[in-house]
Structure 1
Amino acid sequence: MTRFRPCIDLHAGSVKQIVGGTLSTDNAGLKTNFTSDDPAAYFAELYKKNGLTGAHVIMLGPGNDAAAREALVAWPNGLQVGGGIKDSNAKDWIDAGAEAVIITSFLFPSGSFSLERLQSVLSVLGGDTSKLVIDLSCRRVGDGWRVAMDKWQTITEFQISKENIAMLEPYCSEFLIHAADAEGLQAGIDEKLVTYLAEICTIPVTYAGGGRNIQDLELVERLSNGKVDLTIGSALDIFGGRGVTFDECCKWNKHRDDAGR
């Protein structure tokens, strides 16, 4: 059954909701939907209190390590951490209290996928796939999607395909996939991508991008037959949004948890 998956997006040390496609190295065209006065730890504690597992903390650029670590202190072994993760620091984040680390750009040196790099990250984690989430955030190219890296500005040659998903699944516990073209716009999900992910993925997958209300949770559940989870960010009231309340999302998960017992 589809569940709401919360997030903590960090930019310049603050919790923010950003229009994903506007991120860049110099942030010249950055569009921010919301900047919180509360620290990352506040949201970690909120998610812990409400039993919202599988939350991802994403560090968008430099200057976010301290905030991410504060969140991990607030909920040790309850959060996934991504953004700049590589083989040299993956275990450090697990030791700091991350439930799992999320990797993206490190796997694509010069825009090409490196199985050797993926294996190196898993190796420093002792081969424990439960500690590794692969982020395949992507942009639409033609009739399909290709992984986008470096703040979603560089489109790689790596396609979201049944063959590539099957190749990656033995190395991780789940996938996190932002539809970068829809991220932060609150204009609805990429229905074709959600449907396709449900068809080709056999391990858990969380989709993010465009979620705007409780009806989108219903839509993702229907399109994916409950196989894909949904992250809602900018539309959520705790992030200044007006599309859906945090309480509604908590109740959504509780109803599904109760039904699964």
Structure 2
Amino acid sequence: MRFRPCIDIHQGKVKQIVGETLQADASKVVENFVSERGADYYASLYKEDGLTGGHIIMLGAGNREAAVSALRAYPGGLQIGGGITADNAADYLREGASHVIVTSYVFRDGQLHRDNLRKIVSEVGKERLVLDLSCKERDGKWYVVTNQWTTFSDLEVNEANVRELESYCDEFLIHAVDVEGKREGVQEKLAEKLAEWSTIPATYAGGARSIADLARFRELTGGKLDITIGSALDIFGGALPYRAVVDYCDPKRSL
């Protein structure tokens, strides 16, 4: 289990927000934290600590400059997502991203657009693509949600569909929408199932708030899934020491 750091950028600033509130009406966005530091500061911190496979997420328009500053501060060390398409993906790779993360370009209006998925794979290659599966529970099952997490797609997140999507990408980034940004603990059933289903690297995001949560996550997943933590960390205004998380998830630790 690795700790995958994150940099979320909204309106050009590094923030931690409750993802479900990210809507067209900016006044309704619930912000847990707004940093006085630039995105490049966090990228340099992660580089110094040797953390790889972290991600930058651009939340809406107007975030490219801040995102590129982070990519240039840590070339090859960070993935990037948010508004990525087949037309602009290669540009972000040239700026230093290790991978591009795709969400709305392939999951839109409640459907998986396989033509767009094939198009971006053709453009950047399977080995540079991460698929973001934002999962929300309904009737005891999980579905990918789209349109800023407001619309259920018809794609159930289950073993068969996870295995199919693996043929198109190098990794998964999986947001547990029901708990993301709320610091209420990980969504245990989802984490357990994802560890069972996925055979490629996958990073879970949502709800982790303590070392005890990390220990429980490690137990549930057998160390097969990586984890990212945002608003709970002290570097983003939370109570959980970033340094403690880095040390706990050090790859030299044994399961």
**Shorter chain as normaliser: what TM range?**
over 0.9
Per the normalisation by structure 2, the TM-score is 0.97
Contact 2:108–2:146 at 8 Å: present in 1 too?
A: no
Give the equivalent residue in structure 2 for 1:199. Answer: 196
Give the equivalent residue in structure 2 for 1:257. Answer: 252
Cα distance in 1, alignment partners of residues 150 and 108 from structure 2: 14
Aligned sequence identity (%): 48
2:208 counterpart (208, 211, 215): 211
Cα distance in 1, alignment partners of residues 152 and 28 from structure 2: 18
Deviation per residue, 1:20-57 (Å, 9 max, x gap): 11111112321100000000000000000001111110
Contact 2:58–2:82 at 8 Å: present in 1 too?
A: yes
Amino acid aligned to 2:77: G
Cα distance in 2, alignment partners of residues 3 and 103 from structure 1: 21
Contact 1:4–1:217 at 8 Å: present in 2 too?
A: no
Amino acid aligned to 2:64: D
Contact 1:60–1:151 at 8 Å: present in 2 too?
A: no
SS at match of 1:136: strand
Give the equivalent residue in structure 1 for 2:163. Answer: 166
Q: In structure 2, list runs of 5 or more residues that go unmatched.
A: none
Cα distance in 2, alignment partners of residues 109 and 50 from structure 1: 36
Give the RMSD, CA atoms, in angstroms: 1.3
Aligned residue runs from structure 1 range 98-117, under 5 A: 98-117=97-116
- Report the Cα offset of residue 258 of structure 1: 5.4
Tell which deviates more after alignment, 102-111 or 225-234: 102-111
Cα distance in 2, alignment partners of residues 210 and 158 from structure 1: 23
Cα distance in 1, alignment partners of residues 209 and 152 from structure 2: 26
Contact 2:109–2:146 at 8 Å: present in 1 too?
A: no
Contact 2:52–2:77 at 8 Å: present in 1 too?
A: yes
1:224 aligned to 2:221? yes
- Report the Cα offset of residue 141 of structure 1: 1.2
Q: In structure 1, list runs of 5 or more residues that go unmatched.
A: none
SS at match of 1:28: helix
Per the normalisation by structure 1, the TM-score is 0.95
Contact 2:109–2:147 at 8 Å: present in 1 too?
A: no
- Report the Cα offset of residue 259 of structure 1: 4.5
1:73 aligned to 2:72? yes
Cα distance in 2, alignment partners of residues 258 and 21 from structure 1: 34
Cα distance in 2, alignment partners of residues 258 and 200 from structure 1: 24
1:246 aligned to 2:242? yes
Give the equivalent residue in structure 1 for 2:118. Answer: 119
- Report the Cα offset of residue 64 of structure 1: 0.6
SS at match of 2:227: strand
Cα distance in 1, alignment partners of residues 36 and 209 from structure 2: 22
Aligned residue runs from structure 1 range 1-261, under 5 A: 2-125=1-124, 127=125, 129-242=126-239, 244-254=240-250, 256-257=251-252, 259=254
Contact 1:183–1:208 at 8 Å: present in 2 too?
A: yes
Deviation per residue, 1:163-201 (Å, 9 max, x gap): 111111011111001111211100111001000101111
Cα distance in 2, alignment partners of residues 110 and 137 from structure 1: 14
Contact 1:138–1:177 at 8 Å: present in 2 too?
A: yes
